[in-house]
Structure 1
Amino acid sequence: MNLRGSQNLIKTPDFTTASNLEVLILKGCTKLVDVHPSIGVLKSLKLLNLKDCKSLRTLPTKIGMESLETLILSGCSSLVRFPEIDGKMERLKTLDLSGCYRVENLSENLQQAKFLEDLDLSETAITEPPSFIFQFKNLKVLSFNGRKGPTYKLLPNLPSLFKVIQGRRTNPMARMLPLLSGLSSLRKLKLRDCNLCEGDIPPDMSGLSSLRSLDLSGNNFISIPASLTRLSKLMSLELSNCNMCTLGEADTHSDFSGLSSLSYLYLSGNNFISIPLALTQHSGLQLLVLSDCKMLKLLPALSTNKRVKLYGCSSLEVVASPSKVCNLVGCDILAINCFKLAEKINALTLLKEHIKALPNSRKWFANGFFDIMMPRSEIPEWFSQQKSDFSIKIPLPINLRKDSQWIGVACCCIFVNNDASRHNEVIGCKGSIFRGRNCRRIYWRNQWASQSFDKPIMKDHLFLRYFPRGHLYPISLEDKYGDCETNNLWTTDCLDQIGDELELSFNGPNDGCVKVKKCGVRIVYEKDLEEMKELQCDTTQSSPNFEHIHQHSAHNHGSLGSTSHMKRKRNIYEENFFNFVMGQSRKKH
C-alpha cells in the first residue's frame, strides 16, 4: 500500500483485515498524527516507511511485526518515543531514526534483531548508543551523526550529547568508540558533529578490518588521528570542518601509505596552509576535496589521476607545476572562486606543462585527459578558433589521424552562474565528429563528461579541457577496421578524402543557470609545446623555499604597472616555482 505524500491524511485506517499486507509507505504524510494500533501486529509486513511524517507524535506502545525487514522513521521530528518490541523481529535489517530529535531511548528487545545491517541514529536525543548494538556482527552501516545548526538551537530542553561533570569533559561517544572494534562486518561509519576531540579516536580503530567509508566531519581535531592511517581498506575518509591546522602525525609518507585503498579524501573547511607532498602523491587517491580551506596557500605537485576541488580557497597562490619526474597524468584542478590563484597562475601554462609532463607514449591516448577551472573573463588568444556562443564547429585537417605530430585537442569556454540561489550546477562539454551527414559522439572513456560545483559563481570563470587524440580516433577502431576502414568509417568509398568536422558544445541556453558566454578550440601539435621554455635546475644549488616564493610574489604584487609588466611578473613567479618543484623532485631521485 503506497500512500506517499497524502497531505490530508491525519490518521491511518484500521489494518486488522489487512493481515497479508507486506509493504506500507506513508512517506511525506506531513499531517499524519495517529497510527492505528493494528499496525503493530501486521505479521507479514516487510517494509514500513514513515519518513518525514513530521506531525507524528506516537506509534503503538508495542510492535510485533515479526517479518519486518525495513523500518524507516527518519524525519519524524515530533516522535517522542520508540515503541517496545513485542517478540524478536529477527528479520529486521534496516532501522532509520535519523532526525527523530525527541527520541531518547531504544527498546532493549531490539538486541534480538541479530541480523541488523543498517542502523541510523543520527540527530536523535539518544545520548549514547546502547551497548547491545556492538553485538550486531552483521552490522554494515552505523550512523550516529550529531545535531548542529538551527535545528539544534531550537531544542534547548533536549538532553545534550555532551556534559561537563566535576570540571572534566566527558563524551559518551568517545567512551563508545573502543567498542566499535567488535563490529567486524562494519563497512560504513558516520560520526559527524559529535564533538570528538584529539585523543578520542582509539588506537585500535584499525581493528575495523572491513571499514570502507568513515565520516568524522564537524569534529575537533588538531590533525588527522594517527590510528586512522592504519585502516588499510578504507576508501573514503571525510574530515571536513574539523578545525585542523596541520596533518600532524600523518605528515610522513609511511603514514599515508598505510591508507593503501584510499580513493576519496574530503578536507574542506579546515585551516591548512599547505598539504604534504606525500598526500598529493598518494598513488590510489582519485579525489581530493579542499574547498573553503581559506588559509590554504600551497598545493604541491599532483601524481597520477587526481581530481582536486579547490572551491573558495581564497588564499591559494600556488598550484605546483608538474615536473616530468612526477609523471602527472589525468589530473583535474577545479579552482572555483580562487581569485588570488588566478592572479598568480595562468591556466594555459598549467595546460601546457601538463602535456609536457606526459610521457611520449601517453600523449596520444586517453589517460592524458585534463580539466582546469579558474576565474578568467577572456579566452586566451592561443585558442585559434573562438566563437561567442556555447558551441563551436571546426573542420579537421584531412588525414589528421595519420599526422604523427598531432597529440590532441584543447577546448574551453567562459561561463558564469547567474543565479546565486542555485549552487548545485554543472558545466558540461559534449563532442561529436561529423563526416558528411554522419555523426559519431566522442566517448570520454569513463572521465567526467561534466564538472559540478556547489558554490555560486558570480564572476566569469574559464573551463578548459584537454583530451588526447585517442578520444577522437580510438586506437581500438584502428585495430578492428584497419587503416583504410578507420579513415572511412562512415563512407563506402575507401578513396573518399572528405575531411571530418569537430563540434564541441558546452551547456546550452536551457541547461540550468550556467551561462556560457563564449568558447574556443585548438588542435594541438607537438610544435605548440616548443614555445615553452625548457626549465633547467642546478641540483647543486639550493632551490627557493615556499616562504621565499611568497615574499617574492607579495613584493611584486604590491606595485601595479602596465599589462605587459604584470605578465612579466607572472612569468617570473611561475618559472621560479616550477624550477623549485623540478629541483625538489630531482633531489629525491
Structure 2
Amino acid sequence: MGQDIVRRGSKEHGKRTRLWLYEDILHVLKNNTGTMIVEGIMLNTRIQKEEHLDAKVFSKMKKMRLLKVVDMGNVKLPQGLNCLSNDLRIIEWNGYPLNFLPTNFQPNKLVELKMPCSSIKQLWNGIMILDELKIIDLRNSQNLIETPNLSRVPNLKQLILQGCTALSKIHPSLGNLKQLIQLDLSGCKCLESLPHKINLESLEVFIFSGCSRLKSFPEVVGNMSCLSELYLNETAIEDLPLSVEYLTGLIKLDLRDCKNLSSLPNACYSSMSLKILTLSGCSKLDELPENLGNLKGLEELDLSGSAIKVLPTSIKLLKNIKNFSLCGYKGLSLKSSNKLFQQRTSPNPMAMFECPLSGLWSLTKLDLSHCNLQDIPDAFDCLLSLLTLNLEGNEFIWLPKSMIQLSNLQDLLLRGCSNLRSLPKLPSNIKYIDATQCTSLETLSLGSEYDFRPALQLLNCVKLIENQGYSYMSTMLRRYFINDKHYYGQDKLAHYISIPGGEIPKWFTHQNHVGDLVSLQIPSDFCNKLMGIAMCVVFAFRQHSPFESFDPLDFEDFGHNKYTHKLSCSIEFNNYKIFEVDNGFSEEFGKIEPYHLWLQYEPSQFFNKDWEKASSKSNANGFSDIKIKFKKWGPRLEVTKCGTHLVFKQDVEDLKQTMVGSSNCSCSITPYEDDFDGSPRDTI
C-alpha cells in the first residue's frame, strides 16, 4: 500500500520520495532527473550492464536520507562524484568505484556506512565529526591503505575491514573507541602493527585472522572485560603482553597456526572465563605451564600440530573440558608418576593412558589421530561421557575389549589404521564407524543386540569380506528395518553401509545394471503401507590419478579431513523430491579400490514434508511413480549399477519373527542370507 501511495504521488520518477524499482532508478540516475523530493533510493538488483553516470548525478537530491544500492559493480563515474546529500543516514553502496568520497561531504547525521568491495583508498582526511555513526563496513575494499582519524566518531560500534589487503596503517585513535563492539581486520595481509595501547572497554569481538605480517599485540589499558572472542590465528605474533590479564571476560582465544609464537604469559592460563583455547599448528610452542589446570571453565583445547612435548599433570583438573585434540602428536611425556600419558622406550610416543583421564569426566570428543599410536590401553573406559573418538592414521593392531564400557560413544573414527586386524564388541548405541582403508581388518563383531546398528564406512576393507563374507551386511540391514524409530542427536539415525563389492544383491528387486537411475510404479493405495525404501549402488574408480592432483570437495567429515569424492542419492515420488542424502569419502590414506557397494535405508517416517502431498497423488491408472537417482562428484568416480527394494510392513514382521528365532547368534541367518552371494541379477 505504501509503495502505491508513493507511485501515485508523481508520474515523474525524480519527484517521488522513494525509488526502489530498477527501471525507475536507472532512469533517474542516467538522466540526472533527481530532485529535492527524493529521500531514499533502494536498489536490490545488480546493474545489468556498464553505465556511465554524470558527476552531478546526486547533486539535486539534497534531502536524500537513504542510499542503498546492493550491487553497482557496473556503475562508472568517469568524472568523479561532486556531491552526496549531507542528510544521509544510511549509505550502502557495494562496489563504490572511486578512491575517495566527495570532498564537500559532511554527513553529520550518518548512522551506517557500508561500502564493501569498494575502490576507496581513504575515507577522509583530518577529523570528521560523526556523532551518530555506528557502523563502518569496507570489507574487501582492496585499495584501502589506512584508517581515518576516528577521534570524533565516539559512538562507532562496528568497524569491518575484513579482506582489505592493502591496509597497512591504523590511526592511533582506533585504540580509544569506547563504544566499539566488533573490530574485524581479518585478511589484512599488509598490516604490520596496531596502536601501541588499546582501551576498548565495550569491545566484544576482536578479529585479526590472517594478518600474516602482524607481529605484536598492543598493551591492554584499563578495563576490557567485555571482550569475549579474540582471533589471532595465522598471524606472525611472537608473544602476548602480560596485560592480557585484563581480558577477564575472554571466552575464546584462537592462536591457530601462529608459527612464530613461542610462549604464552601465565595470565592466559589464569582466566576463569576462558572456554575455548586453540593452539593447533603453533610449531614453536613447545611447553604449557603447570597452571593450565587453573582454566576451570575450559571446554575445548586444541593442541594438534603444535610442538608441545610435555603435558602438565594439572591437565586432569580440567573437569569441564569437552573437546580435546592432540592430532599429529609425535612424542609426549609427563613430568610425574601421576600421568595422563607415559613415554616408554619403545617408539610408541603415547603408549599408556592411566587413571588421571578419569578426571576428564565431561570429555565428549577426543582426537588422537596421526599420533603414531601402536597400542590403545584399557584406560579409555574411564571416559564415560565420550561421544566421538578419533584414532585415524595410527599404527595399533587391536582395540581393547574395554571399549564396550564407553556407553555414550557414538562416532568411532579409524580411517587409515592400516594395521588394525579386528574390531571388538562395541557399545550398542554407537552410531557411526569409519574404518576406511583399514586394509588389514579381518573381523567385525556385531554382537546379538538389535540396538547395535551403526552406519558403517568400510571402504577398502577387502580382507573383512574375504574372511566374513556379507553376512554382517544382511544382519545390519535387517536391524535397520526393524529399528527405524531412532534419532542421531538432533538428526535422524543414519542407516547405511559402504563396503567392497561389485554386484547388487538380488534381494533388491528393482535393478538397473547400466546406469544411475531406477524407475518403478506401485499402486497408490500401497503408499500408506510403505515402511521405507532400501537403495543400493555399485560405484567404481577408474584410471587412478595421484592424490595431490585432487581438488577436495567443499565439505568436511567427522574428522579433520575433507572428502575428495561424493555420491548422493535422491528419491522422487510423483515428481516430488522427498529424500536426499550424501556419502563422502577421501583418498587421503591411499587409492580406493574398485568396486564398492553403498547400501542406504530410509524409513518413510523421515521423508520430507512433501511426502504427504506426493503419496496422495497418482497417475491416470492409479499408480504412483518412484525414481531413485544417484549422482557423483570427484575424479574417476563412476556409478555402474543400482537397485532398490520397497519395504512394507509384512517384510518387517517376517524379519522380526526370524530374528526372534535366532536371537542368540551374533550374525543371525535369515531367509535373505543368500541374497548377498554375488550371483547374477536381473535388471528392470
Aligned to 1:293: 417
Aligned to 1:190: 302
SS in 2 for 1:87: coil
SS in 2 for 1:392: strand
Pick from 125, 137, 141: which aligns with 1:6?
141
Superimposed CA distance per residue, residues 488-515 of structure 1 (whole angstroms, 9 cap, x where no aligned partner): 96269xxx9945444322226xx66664
CA–CA distance in 2 between the matches of 1:224 and 1:41?
49
Shift of the 206–365 alpha-carbon distance from structure 1 to 2, 3 Å rule, reads closer
Pick from 562, 570, 573: which aligns with 1:430?
570
Give yes or no for the alignment of 1:236 onto 2:362: no
Shift of the 499–223 alpha-carbon distance from structure 1 to 2, 3 Å rule, reads farther
Aligned pairs, number: 483
Contact 1:408-1:467 within 8 A present in 2 as well: yes
Q: CA deviation at 1:310?
A: 1.8
Shift of the 97–487 alpha-carbon distance from structure 1 to 2, 3 Å rule, reads closer
CA–CA distance in 1 between the matches of 2:473 and 2:642?
16
Aligned to 1:104: 238
Aligned to 1:200: 311
Contact 1:365-1:471 within 8 A present in 2 as well: no
Give yes or no for the alignment of 1:161 onto 2:285: yes
Pick from 305, 311, 327: which aligns with 1:217?
327
SS in 1 for 2:267: helix
Give yes or no for the alignment of 1:452 onto 2:584: yes
| Farther-moved stretch of structure 1 (377-386 vs 75-84) | 377-386
Aligned to 2:520: 394
CA–CA distance in 2 between the matches of 1:312 and 1:9?
49
Q: CA deviation at 1:328?
A: 4.2
Q: CA deviation at 1:472?
A: 7.7
Pick from 174, 179, 188: which aligns with 2:291?
179
Shift of the 11–340 alpha-carbon distance from structure 1 to 2, 3 Å rule, reads farther
Residues 240-255 of structure 1 mapped to structure 2, 5 A cutoff? 240-250=369-379, 255=380
Q: Whose RCO is larger (CA < 8 A, sep 6+)?
A: 1
Superimposed CA distance per residue, residues 245-270 of structure 1 (whole angstroms, 9 cap, x where no aligned partner): 111242xxxx51x3222111111111
Contact 2:261-2:282 within 8 A present in 1 as well: no
Give yes or no for the alignment of 1:522 onto 2:645: yes
Letter in 2 for 1:200: L
Residues 101-140 of structure 1 mapped to structure 2, 5 A cutoff? 101=236, 103-124=237-258, 125-140=260-275
Aligned to 2:230: 95
Pick from 432, 449, 457: which aligns with 1:334?
457
CA–CA distance in 2 between the matches of 1:487 and 1:72?
48
Superimposed CA distance per residue, residues 500-557 of structure 1 (whole angstroms, 9 cap, x where no aligned partner): 444322226xx6666433311124536689999x989999xxxxxxxxxxxxxxxxxx
Structure 2 residue ranges without an equivalent (≥5): 1-135, 332-349, 553-562, 667-675, 680-684
CA–CA distance in 2 between the matches of 1:305 and 1:401?
32
Shift of the 86–215 alpha-carbon distance from structure 1 to 2, 3 Å rule, reads same
Aligned to 2:483: 362
Q: TM-score, normalised by structure 2?
A: 0.62
Superimposed CA distance per residue, residues 356-401 of structure 1 (whole angstroms, 9 cap, x where no aligned partner): 567x963788888631112334333443321233332223467657
Residues 482-561 of structure 1 mapped to structure 2, 5 A cutoff? 490=616, 498-507=622-631, 515-523=638-646, 525=651
CA–CA distance in 2 between the matches of 1:144 and 1:332?
32
Contact 1:377-1:462 within 8 A present in 2 as well: yes
Give yes or no for the alignment of 1:80 onto 2:191: no
Q: CA deviation at 1:116?
A: 1.1
SS in 2 for 1:517: strand
Q: CA deviation at 1:319?
A: 2.5
Shift of the 225–503 alpha-carbon distance from structure 1 to 2, 3 Å rule, reads farther
Shift of the 530–506 alpha-carbon distance from structure 1 to 2, 3 Å rule, reads farther
Contact 2:570-2:577 within 8 A present in 1 as well: no
Aligned to 1:353: 475
Shift of the 373–422 alpha-carbon distance from structure 1 to 2, 3 Å rule, reads farther
Superimposed CA distance per residue, residues 325-357 of structure 1 (whole angstroms, 9 cap, x where no aligned partner): 3334431111234444454454x5332122456
Letter in 2 for 1:297: R
Q: CA deviation at 1:54?
A: 2.2
| Farther-moved stretch of structure 1 (362-371 vs 377-386) | 362-371
Q: CA deviation at 1:307?
A: 0.3
Aligned to 1:152: none
Letter in 1 for 2:521: P
CA–CA distance in 1 between the matches of 2:397 and 2:223?
54
SS in 2 for 1:38: helix
Aligned to 1:464: 598
Aligned to 1:31: 166
Contact 1:352-1:529 within 8 A present in 2 as well: no
**Which has the higher Rg, Structure 1 or Structure 2?**
2
Aligned to 2:60: none
Aligned to 1:375: 500
CA–CA distance in 2 between the matches of 1:206 and 1:401?
56
Aligned to 1:553: none
Letter in 2 for 1:185: G
CA–CA distance in 1 between the matches of 2:376 and 2:238?
36
CA–CA distance in 1 between the matches of 2:461 and 2:613?
44
CA–CA distance in 1 between the matches of 2:663 and 2:244?
68
Superimposed CA distance per residue, residues 81-112 of structure 1 (whole angstroms, 9 cap, x where no aligned partner): 111223222221111112223x2221222211
CA–CA distance in 2 between the matches of 1:82 and 1:402?
65
CA–CA distance in 1 between the matches of 2:537 and 2:417?
26
Letter in 2 for 1:441: I
CA–CA distance in 1 between the matches of 2:437 and 2:603?
33
SS in 1 for 2:476: helix
Superimposed CA distance per residue, residues 420-476 of structure 1 (whole angstroms, 9 cap, x where no aligned partner): 513334322222444xxx75725x9xxxx32232436764453433436554899xx
CA–CA distance in 1 between the matches of 2:322 and 2:378?
22
CA–CA distance in 1 between the matches of 2:153 and 2:586?
46
| Farther-moved stretch of structure 1 (240-249 vs 327-336) | 327-336
Letter in 2 for 1:240: S
Pick from 169, 176, 189: which aligns with 1:54?
189
Contact 2:184-2:207 within 8 A present in 1 as well: yes
Aligned to 2:110: none
Percent identical pairs in the alignment equals 28
CA–CA distance in 2 between the matches of 1:139 and 1:105?
18
Letter in 1 for 2:412: L
CA–CA distance in 2 between the matches of 1:376 and 1:222?
36
Shift of the 460–11 alpha-carbon distance from structure 1 to 2, 3 Å rule, reads farther
CA–CA distance in 2 between the matches of 1:132 and 1:270?
35
Pick from 316, 320, 334: which aligns with 2:441?
316
Aligned to 2:534: 410
Shift of the 8–225 alpha-carbon distance from structure 1 to 2, 3 Å rule, reads farther
SS in 2 for 1:507: strand
The structure with the largest helix share of the pair is 1
SS in 2 for 1:326: coil
Letter in 2 for 1:522: H
CA–CA distance in 1 between the matches of 2:541 and 2:217?
45
Structure 1 residue ranges without an equivalent (≥5): 149-159, 163-171, 478-485, 540-566, 572-589
Superimposed CA distance per residue, residues 211-254 of structure 1 (whole angstroms, 9 cap, x where no aligned partner): 2211122223224454234422211111111111111242xxxx
Give yes or no for the alignment of 1:70 onto 2:192: no
CA–CA distance in 1 between the matches of 2:614 and 2:305?
60
